[in-house]
Amino acid sequence: MSALRPSPIAPTVDFERDGVQHGFLRLPYSRDDSAWGSVMIPVCVIRNGKGSTALLTGGNHGDEYEGPLALYELARTLDQRQVSGTVIIVPAMNYPAFRAGTRTSPIDKG
């Protein structure tokens, strides 16, 4: 059995800290003009003590706005006191496609 490799994705939030945090998941991305680029994927973490974790995601396809809009609103309005455990919100998983308003990511040229 092989050991798991560490994730190349670096969060700017602390998933273990109580409170409401808005930040990014930094996904390494090499472009033709720079090998050191990143795709910054928005994330919100709302934690209130120990408990279950819920992961809410939207924006798998960039041309579907309903999920991301609802999740951005939830991230803006959900109060820590309403949570027991952790809620992780990633409103636009495919952020480049969401920004472009296209189903697939312009990064993939597809």
Q: Provide the pLDDT confidence category of residue 89 given band limits of 50, 70 and 90.
A: very high
Q: Quick one: 66 exposed, middle or buried, by C-beta within 10 A (0-12, 13-18, 19+)?
A: exposed
- pLDDT value, residue 63: 95
- pLDDT value, residue 30: 80
The domain covering 10-108 belongs, at the CATH homologous superfamily level, to: Zn peptidases (3.40.630.10)
- pLDDT value, residue 34: 75
Q: Where do the domains of the chain lie?
A: 10-108
pTM: 0.89
Tell me the average pLDDT of the chain.
93
CA-to-CA separations, 40 to 23, 47, 50, in angstroms, rounded: 9, 22, 28
Mean pLDDT within 19-41: 90
- pLDDT value, residue 24: 98
